[in-house]
Amino acid sequence: MHALWRLAAVAVAAICGIVSAAGIEDGEKRSGFDFMTPQTQALQADDMSNPGMLWVLQGEQLWQQAQGRADVACSGCHDDARQTMRGVAARYPAFDAATGRPIDLAGRINSCRAERQQAEPLAPESDALLALTAYVTHQSRGMPITPATDARLAPFRDNGRRLFQSRIGQLELSCASCHDDNWGKRLGGSVIPQAHPTGYPLYRLEWQTVGSLQRRLRNCMIGVRAEPFAFGAAELVDLKLHLTERARGLLIETPAVRP
């Protein structure tokens, strides 16, 4: 097993170990959907077959359930999510005045639980948090990603760009090494995508479950033998802020399906 890992590490370094270039031109932007097999594309496209829809349906139920000491549901403040949440996910991460830094959608859900519902926060990657995040994001499916233009986000977005371009881990690779410079090439039989966050939370066949972008970022860090940031870390939110700017104009697909 260790021998296989070493071979995989060498392959990653050989394919992705090129100095980072400027990035991907707008005309070349492509969703990960475009790199999938027709079978996986069909699985995502059919809501009756897409396994991620189970989390969306669970989120719809949770949206209407009263929670916490305040005994209030999300719908108690926000009414019908199909109307009030339309386009919201397309603008996240957003600036949070209370903390003075960006907050992603999952963080906003937990913030609302604490402030409005007087409820305990949902654990990272818990079914409930993934379901609510998927349900809210699903209301923006088919809409273009339109990152917030709030000037207060600029230094955090810049930090996200720096993190994306920084070489890390024992393999000394950056996110850009693979996803800017070598997208479309094959690594271990799979096509390297451009890493646009168009479908999170998404159902990953490798995971056999739904997961967040933070989970995927942590997996990538482990893959290059780097110490991953903790769930909820500021660095992961900054990275997401950069990734959404990088994906500006691409359509939201949640719940996407990926290999």
**Cα–Cα distance for residue pair 169/17, rounded to 1 Å:** 13
**Cα–Cα distance for residue pair 48/42, rounded to 1 Å:** 11
Q: Is 74 annotated as a binding residue?
A: yes
DSSP 170-189: TTTB-HHHHHTTSTTSEETT
Q: Is 78 annotated as a binding residue?
A: yes
* The two structure tokens encoding residue 156: 């955090």
Residue 16 appears among annotated catalytic residues: no
Coil vs helix vs strand at 24 = coil
Give residue for tokens 């929670």. 67
Helix axes 154-165, 234-246, angle to 10 degrees: 90
**Cα–Cα distance for residue pair 136/145, rounded to 1 Å:** 14
Residue tagged active-site, from 89, 105, 220, 257: 220
Q: Is 216 annotated as a binding residue?
A: yes
Q: Is 175 annotated as a binding residue?
A: yes
Coil vs helix vs strand at 66 = coil
Q: Is 16 annotated as a binding residue?
A: no
With vertex at residue 85, the alpha carbon angle to CA 80 and CA 90, rounded to the nearest 5 degrees, is 165
Contact assessment for residue 57 and residue 48, using Cβ atoms and an 8 Å cutoff: no
Q: Is 196 annotated as a binding residue?
A: no
Residues marked as binding for heme c?
74, 77-78, 112, 175, 178-179, 220
Binding residues: 74, 77-78, 112, 175, 178-179, 216, 220
Give catalytic residue positions: 220
Binding residues for substrate: 216
